[in-house]
Amino acid sequence: MKKIVNKKICLVTVLFAVQVMFAVAQNADSIIDKARNRIESDTVSTQSRMVLTDKKGGTTERKINQYSKDDKDGNSRIIIEFLQPKTIAGTRFLTISKKNADDDRWIFLRELGKVRRVASSEGSNSFMGTDLSFDDISSTDREASEDTNTLLREEKLNGNDCYVIQSVAKDASYQYSKAIQWVDKSSNIIWKMEMYDKKGSLLKRFEVKKVEDKQGRLTPMESIMTTIPDNTSTTIYVDKIKYDDPVPEGAFTPKYLETGKP
């Protein structure tokens, strides 16, 4: 009888451990989901400066307008238009992040004079010479279900109490093998993210440096993406931002990329 009781105790222990692991996994998914969907707004319109710093410390600056708006099916749409410098002014990029499908991406390069579709295989390519890739542009809309999320620990980062979440990509074709994110417990802001390449080496680091209240929403106003092996970085300064400002539906089409008219 004693052996049977022990077996039952062992079985209960195993089941309890499985339940705990499942609960932790669910909690990690929930944390990531809240972080990526923490700002509620019909539209977001921004004017920003991108300061590119090369390995020698030299800098170049780009000025962009960006608009985002979900479609009727809940797909996230982002359009980016370069205003300066003159050499790339008029370049426009459109990405539509689809649920359970590859993103649709198009780019209009002024020197080519036509709209070109960006293949999913180009997701890891640099976006207009910056430290951001095409995948990085739409990473904030990445579904929590696309990764295996694990709560590693809880710790302070720059005085903020954070959850530290590891996200391992389920799709082997995704450019990063995993990402580690520091999520603020109270505000759900992702203060820092480390992205690792296929060999498990740290490739990029994203950090939010400044946050301000804009229209009742805590908004990152300064952030930086650093490419570790190259020792280069791209700092993004948000100069203007408006939530819920009307954006024409026609702006989120390949036709607009070419004409600049919705």
| Within-domain flag for 173 | yes
Read off the pLDDT of each residue in 87-95 and give the average, rounded to a whole number: 94
Copy the structure tokens of residue 123. 């997701």
Read off the pLDDT of each residue in 95-109 and give the average, rounded to a whole number: 87
| Within-domain flag for 16 | no
pLDDT digits (tens, 9 = 90+) for 157-195: 999 999 999 999 998 889 999 999 999 999 999 999 999
Q: What backbone phi and psi angles, to 5 degrees, belong to 250?
A: -65, -15
Read off the pLDDT of each residue in 146-163 and give the average, rounded to a whole number: 96
Supply the CATH number for residue 135's domain: 2.50.20.10
Range of the structural domain that residue 125 is part of: 35-259
**Total count of residues recorded for the chain:** 262
Cβ atoms of 127 and 105 closer than 8 Å: no
| Within-domain flag for 135 | yes
Q: Check residue 28 and give its pLDDT.
A: 95
**Phi/psi class of residue 142: alpha, beta or left (left: φ > 0; alpha: ψ in -120 to 50)?**
beta
Q: Check residue 6 and give its pLDDT.
A: 52
pTM: 0.87
The helix/strand/coil state of 82 is strand
**How many CA atoms does the CB half-sphere of 183 hold within 13 Å?**
27
| Within-domain flag for 195 | yes
Q: Is the pLDDT of residue 129 over 70?
A: yes
Task: Give the pairing of strands 232-243 and 217-227.
Answer: antiparallel
| Within-domain flag for 77 | yes
Q: How confident is the model at residue 47 (pLDDT cuts 50, 70, 90)?
A: very high
| Within-domain flag for 1 | no
| Within-domain flag for 29 | no
Q: What is the number of structural domains in the chain?
A: 1
Closest CA to 176 of 212, 136, 137, 216: 136
Stronger pLDDT, 18 or 89, i.e. the higher one: 89
Give the rounded distance of the alpha carbon of 35 from its chain centre: 11
Q: Check residue 16 and give its pLDDT.
A: 40
| Within-domain flag for 66 | yes
